[in-house]
Amino acid sequence: MVGFSGVVLDVDGTLIRGSEPIPGAIEAVERLRSAGLAVAFVSNNPIRTREAYRDRLASVGFSLDAEELITAGTVTAQHLARERGDETFYVIGEDGLYEQLHGAGLELTEAYDRADTLVASIDRGFDYETLTHALWALSNPEVRFVGTDPDRTIPTEDREVPGSGAIINAVAGVTGREPDAIMGKPAPTAVEALERTLGVDAAECLIVGDRLDTDIAMGERAGMTTALVHTGVTDGRALDASEFEPDHVLDSIAEIGRVL
């Protein structure tokens, strides 16, 4: 265990897939705790609050506290509250994100022309009218464009479905503007959040995840030891073509003993 003070665990595709735990994942988390490691669960899902995510994981057998969870929603809400707490926000997203932004004390508006910042995220009700309002809002160059996370797809039990990145890219495409910031993994804001949660430097941590462009990229940039699992969106062909090279490659988190 020399070299690790904490471990960062991705959730969807690493610990669970859809509503089912990945075989051996519950035992792997307990093994990490037994080794004396501080544990943080980091997800780019912006919809669920910490409490809702804890309940979801607890319902399938994981033991954790809400304070150990970091989501793209919490990262976005906390960052905007610290840096732009006096602004008004027009949000493309779902109820869970609205709840987190409200909970951070931010002022939200349904009037696109009143916004100082547009926040784009996964929205399963996303439609042409919403895209039009985003176009009109961001036609003002003074309005900032922020995304919660870059994940274009989300793994489910059967197949992948569109995620926040798909919505963000649609807005970017129609407006001709790239986001001013994207909050979730692999952004520095996510690294800062996990360091606050774990109480240790990121460079002292192991990160385990299924995405090369978020989990492994964040780990590499922050000096973390990285472990890729093949239970999510990354297969061998994608790994071979990637610019990111994990320190370890596991069939699943059940093989975490190989890293320890």
Residue 1: per-residue pLDDT: 46
Pick the CATH number of 6-44+185-258 from 3.40.50.1000, 3.10.310.30, 3.40.190.10, 3.40.5.90: 3.40.50.1000
Residue 63: per-residue pLDDT: 94
CATH topology of domain 85-182: Rossmann fold (3.40.50)
Q: Mean pLDDT over residues 251-257, rounded?
A: 96
Min mean pLDDT across 32-36, 130-134, 168-172 is at 32-36
Q: Is 95 a catalytic site residue?
A: no
The answer, yes or no, to whether residue 3 has pLDDT greater than 80, is no
Q: Is 158 a catalytic site residue?
A: no
User: Which member of 12, 123, 213, 215 is catalytic?
Assistant: 12
What secondary structure, in 3-state letters, does the chain show?
CCCCCEEEEECECCCEECCEECCCHHHHHHHHHHCCCEEEEEECCCCCCHHHHHHHHHHCCCCCCHHHEEEHHHHHHHHHHHHHCCCEEEEECCHHHHHHHHHCCCEEECCHHHCCEEEECCCCCCCHHHHHHHHHHHCCCCCEEEECCCCCEEECCCCEEECHHHHHHHHHHHHCCCCCEECCCCCHHHHHHHHHHHCCCHHHEEEEECCHHHHHHHHHHHCCEEEEECCCCCCHHHHHHCCCCCCEEECCHHHHHHCC
User: Which member of 10, 149, 151, 213 is catalytic?
Assistant: 10
pTM of the model: 0.89
Q: Mean pLDDT over residues 7-31, rounded?
A: 94
pLDDT band at 236 (very low <50, low <70, confident <90, very high): confident
Q: Mean pLDDT over residues 102-120, rounded?
A: 97
Locate the domains of the chain by residue range: 6-44+185-258, 85-182
